[in-house]
Structure 1
Amino acid sequence: MRIWSLHPVHLDRAGLVAGWREALLAQAVLAGRTKGYRHHPQLIRFRETSDPLATIGAYLHGLQREATGRGYRFDETRILAQVGPLALLPVTRGQLDYEWAHLGRKIAARSPGDAERWARSRPTPHPIFTVVQGDIESWERS
């Protein structure tokens, strides 16, 4: 499971579709609808919020907006929680940089056209995150 801290604009088609599917799985875990992946480290930052379902819902909305902008149809009705104002979650600069390099390797292997676009851009966070100083997050499996 990979729940990118990066803005969905940076994801190639495969990354965006996989991100949607994996965030829906994370939502099912947080809602208690599945027994698998309950202890996955990527879920720690969502569980630590006051409303994990609203937070993963906001994350999913970010993916859904990007997909819609690209002409894809991600079914918004699959998002369980209505999203209101939420506090931004911190993500460390080290984590963002780690994910940026990881995404770059994935895109280079599967999507050369997107790799050129990736190489010309710089990492920005998903709209639910704010960047803070620090190394790779303790929950990351590097």
Structure 2
Amino acid sequence: MRLWSLHPRYLDQKGLVACWRESLLAQKVLAGATKGYRNHPQLVRFRAAADPEAAIGAYLVGLAVEAEGRGYRFNTALVLSAEPASAAPILVTEGQLNFERQHLLAKLATRDPDRRHQLSPAMAGSVPDAHPLFRVIGGPVEDWERAV
């Protein structure tokens, strides 16, 4: 499971669809509707949110907005939170975003080299943009991140 902290605009088609699917699974886990993945480290930051279900709902909405901009239709009726817009921002570190940038570029090198080539200039230099749910702060890679 990978719930990217990066802005969804960086994801290729396969990455965006996979993130949507995995985020729906995360939503089920946070709602207590599944037995698997309950201790997955990617869920730590959502569980720490004041309203975990609103947080994952806001995350899903952010993915759906990006998908719609690309001409895809993600079924937002699957978002369980009644108020995803009320979710408070979740903090993410610059180190985490930089780690995810490298991880995504490595994935794209084999999965979609053209997309990697397009993204490289946009992701070079400063810290990449975060998903709209997240607010960026200084710091290293998050403690919950597993080495890839």
2:29 is aligned to: 29
The ranges of structure 1 where at least 4 consecutive aligned residues each deviate by more than 4 angstroms after the TM superposition are none
Alignment TM-score, normalising by the size of structure 1: 0.97
Once structures 1 and 2 are overlaid, which stretch shifts more, 113-122 or 18-27? 113-122
Matched, 1:62 2:62: yes
Within 2, Cα distance between the matches of 1:75 and 1:128?
A: 19
How many residues matched? 142
- What is the CA-CA distance between 1:117 and the residue it aligns to? 1.4
Within 1, Cα distance between the matches of 2:49 and 2:97?
A: 20
Deviations 1:96-117 (A, max 9, x none): 0000000000011111111111
- What is the CA-CA distance between 1:63 and the residue it aligns to? 0.3
Deviations 1:5-52 (A, max 9, x none): 000000000100000000000000001110000000110000001110
Matched, 1:98 2:99: yes
- Aligned-residue identity in percent: 55
Q: Is the 2:95–2:139 contact (alpha carbons within 8 Å) kept by the matching residues of 1?
A: yes
Q: Is the 2:55–2:88 contact (alpha carbons within 8 Å) kept by the matching residues of 1?
A: no
Within 2, Cα distance between the matches of 1:10 and 1:99?
A: 11
Within 2, Cα distance between the matches of 1:50 and 1:67?
A: 27
Within 1, Cα distance between the matches of 2:116 and 2:143?
A: 28
- What is the CA-CA distance between 1:136 and the residue it aligns to? 0.5
Within 1, Cα distance between the matches of 2:96 and 2:12?
A: 19
Deviations 1:112-135 (A, max 9, x none): 111111102121100011111111
Within 2, Cα distance between the matches of 1:78 and 1:86?
A: 17
- What is the CA-CA distance between 1:68 and the residue it aligns to? 0.7
Within 2, Cα distance between the matches of 1:131 and 1:14?
A: 25
Letter of the aligned partner of 1:66 in structure 2?
E
* Pairing 1:54-133 to 2, within 5 Å after superposition: 54-82=54-82, 83-122=84-123, 123-133=128-138
Matched, 1:6 2:16: no
Alignment TM-score, normalising by the size of structure 2: 0.93
Which ranges of structure 1 fall in alignment gaps of 5 or more residues? none
Letter of the aligned partner of 2:121 in structure 1?
R
